[in-house]
């Protein structure tokens, strides 16, 4: 039976499955999957582990990224989402109920602080912020309804590294589920599940994607139960990753080890160069011997990260001149790609904090934060030094 052209246009011959294995994961740019009968569709839609049914649930390209990240983070499963915030919110909502208590690191990404404030104000979840150098602070904050601990491997912008093994052991002892945001370390520098974390969250927008061209997120789970709870939230919120975004992150992963190594090298080179510069009051990089987290970072991390924060001697007046004078380094809010970027945390990432919380996060008016890319270090040094002379002039 020959169909009409209208039908043939929408039902072309199906391409037979290829025999060779594609070396690069294909982009399955497809929303829904067809089966032989309704029972197969129903079975596929029953949960995250059935056949692919709908790309709002998961998709072969998205699943490839999830498998890659579960493997890199030593997890049992992973969930790829539309952004880092989508990953964090899916995890938090999958774990928390009304009346639960959260203990969180004092220096936390602003978006996460905002998400916790929203859960507190609208959903009755209480939050206590603690210092993360001594597990006794965590123990002192415990309540019968404490349920979740939230940490970051390397805090933005000061490079503070929490006592992960001590805190995660204390959390486990108290029956808390621990979430570690590993965005700044990447699984190349640290795998928090090895230290006892239950859930690892990433903004894939940053180093995993690595090219400033995609917004995405990942959560990796030590156990499947919490993965399914977070997946249900991502489906409910509609924040599962799309195939093209997932593909860009997968592509980024292939060069992650090379990029992270170069970014760590560039950060340390620039940090060492800026120490003692007359226009610089302080340099914050965990690779510097006098950084408060230096020894711990050396034990826990396979590199000191690509971030350097610098207090300019001239305060906020110098900041404006300095940022305006940079030619190679870009003024940009996000980070983690191939280009070196700089930001002014007090007026961007940390603007919502009250002055006391900003001080606690180490963010003064004269602080600028670099996230190093892949440029030649000599070109970066030249650009930063010429801008410092403009700022001092
Ligand atoms: C950027 C960032 C996030 C949020 O990720 P998005 O992809 O922007 O939603 C979460 N945590 C950290 C540490 C980040 O830097």
Amino acid 17: pLDDT? 72
- Which value, in Å, is the radius of gyration of the alpha carbons in the chain? 23
Asked if 115 and 85 count as a contact pair (C-beta separation under 8 A), the reply is yes
Percent of all residues in the chain with a pLDDT value above 90, rounded to a whole number:
88
Q: Is 206 in the pocket of ligand 1 (CB under 6 A)?
A: yes
CATH topology identical between 38-253 and 256-392: no
User: In the prediction, which pLDDT does 357 show?
Assistant: 81
Looking at residue 1, what is its pLDDT?
A: 66
Banded model confidence at residue 258, pLDDT cuts 50, 70, 90: very high
Residue 127 has pLDDT above 70, yes or no: yes
pLDDT score recorded for residue 44: 93
Q: What is the distance, to the nearest Å, from the Cα of residue 42 to the centroid of all Cα atoms in its chain?
A: 34
Q: What integer pLDDT is reported at residue 393 of this predicted model? A: 82
- Coil, strand or helix: which one is 18? coil
**Residue 338: Cβ within 10 Å count:** 16
Confidence of residue 284 (pLDDT cuts 50, 70, 90): very high
Predicted local confidence at residue 20, as pLDDT: 85
Sign of CA dihedral 293, 298, 258, 194: negative
- Orientation angle between helical segments 60-72 and 243-253, nearest 10 degrees: 40
84 class by beta-carbon count within 10 Å (0-12 exposed, 13-18 middle, 19+ buried) = buried
Query: What CATH architecture is 38-253?
Result: 3-Layer(aba) Sandwich (3.40)
For a pocket test of ligand 1, which of 104, 151, 203 has the largest count of ligand atoms closer than 8 A to its C-beta?
203
Residue whose CA lies nearest to ligand 1 atom number 8: 84
pLDDT digits (tens, 9 = 90+) for 186-221: 999 999 999 999 999 999 999 999 999 999 999 999
Neighbouring CB atoms inside 10 A of 96's CB total: 19
User: If you measure from the C-alpha of residue 150 to the centroid of ligand 1, how many angstroms do you get, rounded to a whole number?
Assistant: 14
pLDDT score of 12: 85
Q: Which of 47-51, 80-84, 235-239 has the lowest mean pLDDT?
A: 47-51
Task: Provide the whole-model pTM.
Answer: 0.96
pLDDT of residue 355: 85
Evaluate: CB of 243 within 6 angstroms of ligand 1.
no
Parallel, antiparallel, or unpaired: how do β-strands 77-81 and 217-221 relate?
antiparallel
| Mean pLDDT, residues 239-256 taken together | 98
Q: Out of 10-14, 210-214, 258-262, 370-374, pick the least confident.
A: 10-14
Pocket test for ligand 1, best of 79, 82, 85 (most atoms within 8 A of CB): 85
Judge if the beta carbon of residue 135 lies within 6 A of ligand 1.
no
3-state DSSP: the chain helix, strand, coil percent, rounded to 5? Answer: 40, 15, 45
Residues comprising the chain, all counted: 393
How far apart CA 247 and CA 25 sit, in angstroms, is 8
* Number of neighbouring beta carbons within 10 Å of residue 200: 32
Q: Distance from the CA of 84 to the center of ligand 1, in angstroms?
A: 5
Nearest CA-CA partner of 367 in 321, 316, 323 = 316
- Give the pLDDT score at 341: 98
Binned at pLDDT 50, 70 and 90, residue 388 comes out as very high
Supply the DSSP symbol for 150.
Answer: E
Distance from residue 85's CA to the centre of ligand 1 (Å): 6
What is the C-alpha separation between 19 and 360, in angstroms, rounded?
58
For the chain, the domains span 38-253, 256-392
Distance CA 94, CA 360 (A): 29
- On the question of pLDDT at 16 being above 80, the answer is no
Q: Which atom of ligand 1 is nearest to the CA of 183?
A: 13
**Of 38, 67, 63, whose CA–CA distance to 52 is shortest?**
63
For all residues of the chain together, what is the average pLDDT?
95
Cβ 155 under 6 angstroms from ligand 1: no
Asked whether the predicted pLDDT for residue 132 surpasses 90, the reply is: yes
Looking at the domain 256-392, which fold is it? Answer: 3.90.1150
What integer is the mean pLDDT of 363-371? 95
């Amino acid at each position: 039976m020959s169909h009409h052209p209208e039908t043939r246009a929408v039902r072309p011959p199906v391409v037979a499955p290829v025999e060779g294995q594609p070396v690069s994961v294909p982009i399955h740019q497809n929303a829904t999957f067809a089966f032989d009968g309704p029972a197969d569709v129903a079975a596929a839609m029953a949960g995250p582990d059935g056949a692919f049914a709908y790309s709002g649930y998961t998709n072969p390209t998205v699943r490839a990224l999830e498998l890659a990240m579960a493997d890199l983070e030593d997890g049992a499963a992973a969930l790829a989402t539309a952004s880092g915030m989508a990953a964090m919110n899916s995890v938090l909502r999958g774990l928390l109920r009304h009346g639960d208590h959260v203990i969180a690191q004092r220096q936390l990404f602003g978006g996460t602080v905002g998400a916790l404030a929203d859960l507190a104000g609208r959903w009755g979840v209480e939050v206590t912020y603690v210092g993360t150098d001594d597990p006794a602070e965590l123990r002192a904050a415990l309540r019968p309804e404490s349920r979740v601990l939230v940490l970051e491997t390397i805090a933005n912008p000061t490079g503070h590294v929490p006592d992960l093994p001590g805190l995660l052991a204390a959390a486990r002892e108290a029956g808390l589920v621990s979430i570690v945001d590993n965005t700044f370390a990447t699984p190349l520098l640290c795998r928090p599940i090895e230290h006892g974390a239950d859930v690892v969250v990433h903004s894939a927008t940053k180093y995993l994607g690595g090219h400033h061209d995609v917004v995405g997120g990942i959560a990796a789970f030590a156990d499947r139960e919490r993965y399914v709870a977070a997946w249900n939230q991502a489906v409910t919120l509609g924040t599962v990753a799309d195939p093209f975004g997932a593909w860009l992150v997968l592509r980024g992963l292939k060069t992650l080890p090379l990029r992270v190594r170069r970014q760590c090298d560039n950060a340390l080179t620039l940090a060492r160069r800026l120490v003692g510069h007359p226009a610089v009051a302080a340099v914050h990089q965990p690779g510097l011997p006098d950084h408060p987290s230096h020894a711990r970072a050396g034990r826990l991390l396979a590199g000191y990260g690509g971030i350097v924060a610098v207090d300019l001697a001239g305060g906020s007046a110098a900041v404006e001149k300095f940022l305006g004078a940079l030619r190679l380094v870009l003024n940009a809010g996000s980070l983690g790609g191939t280009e070196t970027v700089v930001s002014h945390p007090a007026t961007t990432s940390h603007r919502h904090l009250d002055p006391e919380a900003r001080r606690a996060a180490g963010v003064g008016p004269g602080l600028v934060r670099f996230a190093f890319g892949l440029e030649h270090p000599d070109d970066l040094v030249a650009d930063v030094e010429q801008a410092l002379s403009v700022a001092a002039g």
